[in-house]
Amino acid sequence: MNKKQKNLLLRILSAAACVAVLLLCDRMIPAWYIKLLLYMIPYLIVGHDILKKAWKGIRNRQVFDENFLMTVATFGAIAVGIYNATHGGDDDYLEAVAVMLLYQVGELFQSYAVGRSRRNISDLMDIRPDYANIEEDGELVRVDPDEVEVGSLIVVQPGERIPLDGVVESGSSTLNTAALTGESLPREVSEGSEVLSGCINQSGVLTIRTTKEADESTASKILDLVENAASRKSKSENFISKFARYYTPIVCYAALALALLPPIFLAVTGRNPMISEWLYRACTFLVISCPCAVVINIPLSFFAGLGAASSQGILIKGSNYLEAMAQVRCLVFDKTSTITRGNFEVSAIHHTLLEEEKLLEYAAHIECHSSHPISLSLQHAYGKHVDAGRVTDIQEISGRGVTGKVDGVPVAAGNAGLMKDLDIPYKDCHHPGTIVHMAIDGKYAGHIVISDEIKPSSADAIAELKKAGVRKTVMLTGDSEKTAQAVAGQVGIDEVHAGLLPADKVSLVETLLTQTGRNEKLAFVGDGINDAPVLSRADIGIAMGALGSDAAIEAADVVLMDDDPLKITKAIRISRKCLRIVHENLIFSLGIKVICLILGAVGIANMWIAIIADVGVMILAVLNAIRALFADR
Ligand code: ADP
Ligand code: MG
């Protein structure tokens, strides 16, 4: 509980104690106005901020809110008490105080629950680095990660969290990445491995040279993203704020009509107008109509849903995307690193005029600045030091390959499309796999065949998606038709488009978007390398294996922290459960409201029932919302 909540709790308790004393001494109070004054003490203790907020609302011309409803209703109840007292009836002010008191109990509960679930999201992602160890004169000193400069050496001991992104300088260990990915499989690291902040060092001491500042490190980026997620409002939340804008004034006018029309009618027809009775009913009506339970449960359910997702390593950037995930009917996949591992291995080298070693050397050098998985595998296959200083005029052509100069000699590496663009005759290959054609000094110099593995869970993931009601699965790739068909066939994807440039992927997604129904959504899943435009064009852009890929974290709406395509169905399941809870709560709380409103209008429900129903419904709704936190466990 924070200070504000403790304060409110204290006020509630002291007001309740006051009321108890007043009830015990009821007989000893000599006159109705003294009793009124005495009851005003707990009333003001517990409700003064509501009165103040209502007054502020009136002054700012935003009259109709819950504070206003509560103020008018309790003032009305006090007025009824005074009227009764001066007309020889019962002087009862308890009701007004009790309504205020219970309303505040509800408020306290609500702010506690919202605070809890908001914190829960970042708690679940318990990755905030607290300190970094720096070696000074042979001793380890703890410093704030913010103060560590890029390129510094930090020491991470077993059991400690890695505070900053970097590269292992010495030592080896296993890392627990569960906080980032939701997976408990440990990752082995040793000299030269890249490590990400937020992981926990399990076994050995690691000395790490930092590559990023604290703000730029993975852990901070992810926390930012998670903490801002709730500010992107879902459609249901927008609906509710619109709803409250019309609902509250309507209710107020209805209450006014209820207070005035029947007495006027009774008076005109010559009967007793029963002014206090109708005023009381109008006040009851106001209390019942207070929309707190309805208003609170929606953002709360979404908080909980976002939390459930992030604990599984699925970061959703806003409630709107969580909502949209439930309606995904068409899923479009990128091939490389999405369906396949993206760990290419060189499997053959053909038709080369040079030595294979020499060809690989050219390939590794020309690719030295590319972050494409192909580039990484070529450098891996070359295995020797790549001297970036030998390379000039590099141009990476998305979906085609790379051109540039190595030692001043023009070199091109890429697919058949690139060779056609450069007007260089090339030799086709019948090997299965992705072909990197090489041209050196304007002449064809052979090709390198590299092959990629399909992820073990890809086929299951597609089957799961079909089970979850996804109608259509499509694979887009810049790779050749043959490789694409082979992969799609193995995993069971419905539709394949190959040989695409990033721009073609965008236009294909646009065509697919026109084919999806009105309440259906299209999601694109990619690795964030050269498919950022498509990620942002789809209804939902899902970036996969985004650990460490900044571009993907920026461009995507949903980030899957590990490479597992099964997480897509999981995200859909969580979002559906969350939405179901939202709808349940909406129907339940609105239903109870309507019933109470009718009972209140005909005079069956009194103010006690009204406030208890309201607070009760709210508490039940909040508890139901919290259920979303445990979605898909
Ligand atoms: P995908 O659609 O499978 O993710 P990309 O659009 O990233 O593939 O790339 C499409 C094709 O372009 C690759 O299959 C490869 O033939 C070629 N290509 C792209 N980048 C490179 C590169 N850096 N080096 C060599 N070839 C490349
Ligand atoms: Mg790609």
* Amino acid 548: pLDDT: 54
* Amino acid 443: pLDDT: 92
Q: Which atom of ligand 1 is nearest to the CA of 372?
A: 23
Please indicate whether residue 557 is annotated as part of the active site: no
* Amino acid 549: pLDDT: 66
Tokens linked to 17: 């104690």
SS3 content of the chain, % helix, strand, coil (to 5): 55, 20, 30
What's CA 396's distance to the chain center, in Å? 34
Cα–Cα distance measured from residue 190 to residue 215, given in angstroms and rounded to the nearest whole number: 25
Q: Does residue 233 surpass a pLDDT of 90? A: no
Please tell me the distance between residue 544's alpha carbon and the centre of ligand 1 in angstroms.
17
| Ligand 1 residue neighbourhood (C-beta within 6 Å) | 334-336, 367, 370, 372, 374-375, 396, 399-402, 413-415, 434, 436, 477-479, 530
Helix axes 373-382, 356-366, angle to 10 degrees: 140
Burial classification of residue 183, based on how many CB atoms lie within 10 Å of its CB (0-12 exposed, 13-18 middle, 19 or more buried): middle
* Amino acid 305: pLDDT: 86
Q: Which atom of ligand 1 is nearest to the CA of 478?
A: 10
Atom 9 of ligand 1, nearest CA residue: 399
Q: Does residue 580 surpass a pLDDT of 80? A: yes
CB 205 within 8 A of CB 170: no
| Residues, CB within 5 angstroms of ligand 2 (ion) | 334, 336
* Amino acid 547: pLDDT: 65
Name the pTM for this structure: 0.78
Cα–Cα distance measured from residue 420 to residue 423, given in angstroms and rounded to the nearest whole number: 5
Report percent pLDDT > 70 for the chain: 95
Please tell me the distance between residue 337's alpha carbon and the centre of ligand 2 in angstroms.
7
65, 91, 165, 334: which one is catalytic? 334
Give the ranges where 478-565 is alpha helix by DSSP (H).
481-491, 502-515, 532-537, 550-555
Atom 14 of ligand 1, nearest CA residue: 479
Q: Does residue 67 surpass a pLDDT of 60? A: yes
Please tell me the distance between residue 397's alpha carbon and the centre of ligand 1 in angstroms.
9
Helix axes 275-289, 235-268, angle to 10 degrees: 170
Helix axes 292-311, 607-626, angle to 10 degrees: 10
Beta strands in 85-236 (DSSP E): 132-136, 139-143, 153-156, 166-170, 173-176, 187-189, 194-195, 200-201, 206-210
Please enumerate in sequence order all residues whose Cβ is within 8 A of that of 285, keeping only pairs 6 or more positions apart, or say none. Answer: 251, 254, 255, 258, 597, 600, 601
Q: Does residue 226 surpass a pLDDT of 80? A: no
Kindly state the average pLDDT of the residues 178-191. Answer: 78
DSSP state for residue 28 in the 8-state scheme:
G
- Ligand with minimal distance to 543 CA: 2
Report percent pLDDT > 90 for the chain: 35
Please tell me the distance between residue 401's alpha carbon and the centre of ligand 1 in angstroms.
6
pLDDT tens for 497-542 read 998 888 889 999 999 999 988 889 999 998 877 778 888 889 999 9
Atom 20 of ligand 1, nearest CA residue: 401
Closest to 20 in 3D by CA, of 44, 45, 39, 48: 39
Atom 17 of ligand 1, nearest CA residue: 400
Tokens linked to 631: 């979605």
Kindly state the average pLDDT of the residues 356-366. Answer: 91
Q: Please enumerate, as own/partner, the contacts of 434-439 that have beta carbons within 8 Å and a separation of 24 or more.
A: 434/344, 434/374, 434/479, 434/480, 434/483, 435/480, 436/363, 436/374, 436/378, 436/401, 437/401, 437/412, 437/413, 438/352, 438/359, 438/362, 438/363, 438/411, 438/412, 438/413, 439/410, 439/411, 439/412, 439/413
Where is 3: in which H helix or E strand? Answer: helix 3-24
pLDDT tens for 409-462 read 999 999 999 999 999 999 888 887 889 999 999 999 999 999 888 999 999 999
* Amino acid 463: pLDDT: 95
pLDDT tens for 278-300 read 888 888 888 777 776 666 778 77
CB 160 within 8 A of CB 205: no
Least confidently predicted of 143-147, 168-172, 215-219, 464-468: 215-219
**List of domains in the chain:** 3-120+231-303+577-630 (no CATH), 314-341+454-561 (3.40.50.1000), 345-451 (3.40.1110.10)
